[in-house]
Amino acid sequence: MPGRSGTDVANPRLFRRLALASDLSSGHFCTLSQTHTPRAENETAMPRALHKKTVEAPVEASSEGTGARGDNKAGRETRLNPLDAAWLLTESRATANHVGGLLTFALPPDAPPDFLRRLMHEFRRHRHFAPPWNRRLKYPSFTLNPVPVWVEDDDIDLEYHMRHAALPFPGGERELGELIGRLHSTPLDLARPPWECTLIEGLEGGRFAMYTKMHHSLIDGISGVKLLQRAMSTERDKSEATAPFWESAAEGRRSEAEGGPRKRASGATPTIASALDVAAEALRGQMRSVPQLAAAFAKIVGRIGQPGEGLQVPFDSPRSVLNGRVRDKRRFATAQFELARLRTLASAAGGTINDVVLSLCGGALRRFLIDREALPDQTLTAGIPVSVRPKDDEGTGNAISFIVSTLGTDLDDPVQRLRAIQASVQHAKAHVQGLPRAAMLQYTMLLMAPTILTLLTGIGGRTRPMFNITISNVPGPQAPLYWRGAELLAIYPVSIVTHGQALNITCHSYNGRMFFGFTGCHASLPSLQKLALHAEAAVQELEAAFLPTPEAAAPAAEKAKPPRKRPAARKAAAKKSVPAPAPTRKRRIA
């Protein structure tokens, strides 16, 4: 039959169902993000798109094109993973599923006053688009397959997608954060390729900014920022000739290229036989991992109601102002720290940078909630995407899972707070690392299933949260980057909030600094900028606890020297500082 592109099967409906079941059983999990649909909060969400991971297959790619707008040619279609598609069902006007990034630059030394206007004019003439920037959603027949697919669209209106804004000069961090909060509150048009980019001028200090947001079904925020970085150069002169970011194609995910049912599903001929083969193999993998999954969840259930240090279990979190219903407007705040400063703290505390990040977030949240007289007696908990290596994985790639950790907000002492976080993270990582790779994927999917169900059913924010806040730490390049002669100064992630999760903290390291993006619900978290200020206070608190001051370090250094090399005057001073028993013993010996 013409136009089927390899999908000629006796029962196409059965094939689609088997293919969806195959994807679901393969255990690929994706995290939530943010996109707005102009729709009332309680309206039922229509299926739109999915999230990060997709399975590429020739799904009814018509040779005549889909022609949703104009006479544009439609490229191959990309079938969405059903788990990704579930995120579209959670969309409402109050809970949008787009993520973004705020990048600030220093203007080139010889930049004319109309530098950004010229840049916009030039970029809008570039008409070549590479995936994922040229993908838009197509909705097949609901009776045959309600899950949408991506189609490649060459008819892209750059005047819509590429925008120009300005702050009243001189624009500071506060004014920039307010603008980003407003831009992040605006829905994406899912009838178009779901991304927007805004160039912002008027910043103080000879700077400008670029804010890009994209639907999480198209690409996750961190991968999107990495795509933007690929359009830059490590040399200023070479960056003058770089093409716009939408001409850079996304590289295939390494994890999807390394065998497994997902690889075979995307490369196999889409017939009933191949679909059954993939589904059967995935089912066999699930059955083999059942004992490990049962043991893992039995350990979680056994920890419920047991106080003290150890494994932090999901849904053992207090209700707080961070975990109610959210509205459609967003707030955004930023903070940044020297990476060397955090490394020094981690070394002194005998931990990792991630431990320090969680500790400073816990300390900042404690201060923020005390100011609002809303600090729960029980500690807040954080959901953390982590890189773990399963016990049966001998490869070099990273494995990603999800853990829950305490934040120690019930502890006033920063040392005790950090130690509690270290113990909690170690127990959680050991719990996940004890699983083989196949079981870990299923474990992560099952662990997050209740949260997804609360969003799908509309009860999110009305029940006890699985955890109180999501905190992510993403490493980035440590060499300076340039874009059209402008040096990249900072990268701030802009993430999502949902019902039951009114605050998200994501940090990104770049060029020797750690940049924090605080994204919150406008109604639930007034004065969000104070949280960023409390983060600095929390770091100073940790430094006072773990790092000796110069005044305290001098006596310690003198005490470490051999006594015979100390001058007499210094010996006399040392005798005065000796505890009482020591001089008593000397008199008896004399």
Would you name the residues annotated as active-site residues? Answer: 216
DSSP reduced 3-state for 399: strand
In the sheet with 482-483, reading across from the earlier edge strand, the strands are: 162-171, 195-203, 207-215, 98-106, 486-494, 482-483
State which amino acid sits at residue 162: M
* CA distance linking residue 494 with residue 546, whole number of Å: 31
Question: Which residues have C-beta within 8 Å of that of residue 505, sequence separation ≥ 6?
Answer: 361, 469, 470, 471, 472, 516, 517, 518, 519
H/E stretch holding 185 reads none
Name the DSSP class of 79.
E
**Other Cβ atoms within 10 Å of 539 Cβ, number:** 22
The CA–CA distances, whole Å, from 13 to 20, 60, 77, 141, 261 equal 11, 12, 18, 11, 21
DSSP 321: G
DSSP assignment of 214-248: EETTT--HHHHHHHHHHTSBSSHHHHTTPPPGGGS
Please state whether beta strands 469-474 and 503-510 pair in parallel, antiparallel, or not at all (unpaired): parallel
As a whole number of angstroms, the distance between CA 364 and CA 361 comes to 5
Say how far apart CA 234 and CA 413 lie, in whole Å. Answer: 43
> Is residue 517 within a helix (H) or strand (E), and if so which, with residue range?
strand 513-521
Alpha carbons 159 and 117: distance in angstroms, whole number? 13
Asked if residue 555 lies in contact with residue 570, where contact means CB atoms within 8 angstroms, the answer is no
- What are the helix and strand counts (H, E) for the chain? 18, 16
Report the SS3 class of residue 144.
coil
Closest CA to 94 of 49, 37, 33: 37
- Report the alpha-carbon distance of residue 23 to residue 133 in Å, rounded: 24
